[in-house]
């Protein structure tokens, strides 16, 4: 079963438009990995402009798979950690 992973990335100097473009790349990279046999699904992102922080949420079999997806999407990350959704 796939888990959820949160990616922290500082977005110093990037605006909302650049981050929207990065989200398109994130989705494409996840789909590419999935087509190669490594299931990765980009779920959503959240931009916190005052902190210049972008949080990316993925579903995947491992943190390493998420790391590869962010590398392919050219998203420079601080860390990838397991995340649990709480309703």
Output the pLDDT for position 11: 80
| Among 27, 35, 43, 33, CA closest to 65 | 33
Indicate the CATH number for domain 3-83.
3.30.70.3090
Mean pLDDT by 10-residue block, N- to C-terminus, for the chain (87 residues)?
90 82 96 97 92 94 96 95 91
Domain residue ranges of the chain, discontinuous segments joined by +: 3-83
Is the C-alpha dihedral spanning 81, 66, 10, 18 positive or negative?
negative
pTM score, two decimals? 0.91
Residue 16, judged by CB atoms within 10 A of its CB (0-12, 13-18, 19+), counts as: exposed
């Amino acid at each position: 079963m796939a888990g959820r992973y949160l990616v922290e990335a500082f977005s110093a100097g990037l605006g909302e438009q650049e981050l929207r473009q990065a989200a398109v790349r994130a989705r494409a990279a996840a789909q590419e990995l999935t087509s190669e046999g490594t299931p990765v699904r980009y779920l959503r992102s959240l931009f916190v402009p005052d902190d210049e922080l972008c949080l990316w949420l993925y579903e995947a079999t491992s943190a390493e798979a998420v790391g590869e997806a962010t590398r392919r999407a050219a998203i420079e990350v601080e860390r990838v950690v397991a995340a649990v959704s709480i309703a």
